[in-house]
Amino acid sequence: MNSHRFHQSVLVGEVAQYLVHDPDGTYVDGTVGTGGHSEVIGSGLSPNGKLICLDRDPDAVRTSKKRLAFMGERVRVVKANYVALKDVLAEQACDAVNGVFLDLGMSSYQLEFSGRGFSFTRNEPLDMRMDPDEESTASELVNHAAPSELFKILKDFGEEKRAKLIVRAISNARRKSAIVTSSQLAALVKSAFPQAHRARRRHPATRTFQALRIAVNKELQNLQTFLDTIPLMIATGGRLVILSYHSLEDRLVKQTMMNWENPCTCPPEFLHCVCGKPPLFKRLFKKGIKPTAAEIERNPRARSAVLRAAERI
Ligand SMILES: C[S@@+](CC[C@H](N)C(=O)[O-])C[C@H]1O[C@@H](n2cnc3c(N)ncnc32)[C@H](O)[C@@H]1O
């Protein structure tokens, strides 16, 4: 199956435009997925330009390797978590690159065809690991986590208003038998909603599934670790471009970029800076870029996307 057909990349032109400022440079796609953004980034590079691609999902690595084969020796695709980028760069004998891109979240391929229980519309094992080598599955979390932990996950990562009722339904059900499939969980979540709610366009389990996926894959922790370590891996003039789909992720990216731009910790009443902290990046634009109505019409997955970019000083 040509899995890349099932994922439409978001804001592709804008990503390539802000990321690639030197066609001879070396760039990183930390979440290559089905390779849609990398195909466009790679096409814009000169014969000297290089691309290093990472994904924690082995299916994504296989798919994108094929799609990016046109770049020959100038592309490397490796199975790795983007938090390990420093080690990946060291293996490629590279210490700083000209641009790094992250497209957060999951691909439509993972949702629809991975068979790992990401979708509430499918009856699959409740796994949700992007990297099958990682330890904990969604099923382990749902069956063994303390109700207070489940509640916090649904509240924090899903902003789920009915978290308490959903956790109660899960706790009652798992006392009788383990919850092992995506359909079982979807039905349980649905049972915690009143009848009128169940007929709405958005499935009642949307937020629960999103929250569990974020927790299982430690998505926010990974992003935080990445942001803490990335500045030294980007050469002067190099770019960091991040596409996020969740308000918590976007807030983290926005705040971090603002702190990099203005790291001064002097009290506001000081006329001049005495802390001497130098800015690390300047933002390429202040307000996050959102897809146009036409792009959202073509690709509804783009509706929550926000793009931010900054340049290393
Ligand atoms: C939205 S998709 C990327 C789609 C891609 N830009 C394209 O055009 O096809 C996100 C990808 O990031 C990967 N991913 C998520 N967290 C990751 C992490 N911490 N390290 C590496 N890859 C990760 C997922 O496995 C998924 O393939």
Per-residue pLDDT at 195: 77
Q: Is 56 in the pocket of ligand 1 (CB under 6 A)?
A: yes
Residue 194 binned pLDDT confidence (cut-offs 50, 70, 90): confident
Mean pLDDT of 120-139: 96
Q: Whose CA is nearest to atom 14 of ligand 1?
A: 31
Q: Whose CA is nearest to atom 5 of ligand 1?
A: 33
Spatial separation of the C-alpha atoms in residues 24 and 146, rounded to whole Å: 52
The atom of ligand 1 lying closest to the CA of 243 is 1
Per-residue pLDDT at 160: 95
Q: Residue 280 in contact with residue 312, Cβ under 8 Å? A: yes
The atom of ligand 1 lying closest to the CA of 36 is 8
Lowest-confidence region among 68-72, 100-104, 107-111, 171-175? 107-111
The atom of ligand 1 lying closest to the CA of 223 is 19
Mean pLDDT of 144-149: 98
Spatial separation of the C-alpha atoms in residues 25 and 142, rounded to whole Å: 45
Q: Is 249 in the pocket of ligand 1 (CB under 6 A)?
A: no
Distance from Cα 44 to the centre of ligand 1, integer Å: 21
User: How distant is the alpha carbon of residue 35 from its chain centre?
Assistant: 14
Per-residue pLDDT at 239: 98
The atom of ligand 1 lying closest to the CA of 57 is 25
Q: Residue 32 in contact with residue 81, Cβ under 8 Å? A: no
- Residues 34-92: tens digit of each pLDDT: 999 999 999 999 999 999 999 999 999 999 999 999 999 999 999 999 999 999 999 99
Spatial separation of the C-alpha atoms in residues 252 and 152, rounded to whole Å: 19
**Most distant CA pair in the chain: distance in Å?**
66
Per-residue pLDDT at 94: 93
pLDDT above 70 (res 199): no
Domains and CATH numbers, the chain: 3-109+220-312 (3.40.50.150), 115-216 (1.10.150.170)
Q: Residue 37 in contact with residue 29, Cβ under 8 Å? A: yes
Residue 176 binned pLDDT confidence (cut-offs 50, 70, 90): very high
Per-residue pLDDT at 7: 84
Q: Whose CA is nearest to atom 2 of ligand 1?
A: 107
Please enumerate in sequence order all residues whose Cβ is within 8 A of that of 155, keeping only pairs 6 or more positions apart, or say none.
163
Q: Is 26 in the pocket of ligand 1 (CB under 6 A)?
A: no
Q: Is 98 in the pocket of ligand 1 (CB under 6 A)?
A: no
Q: Is 60 in the pocket of ligand 1 (CB under 6 A)?
A: yes
Q: Is 7 in the pocket of ligand 1 (CB under 6 A)?
A: yes
Q: Whose CA is nearest to atom 10 of ligand 1?
A: 106
Report DSSP letters for 35-46, one per residue: SHHHHHHHHTS-
CA distances, 177 to each of 81, 120, 126 (Å): 34, 19, 14
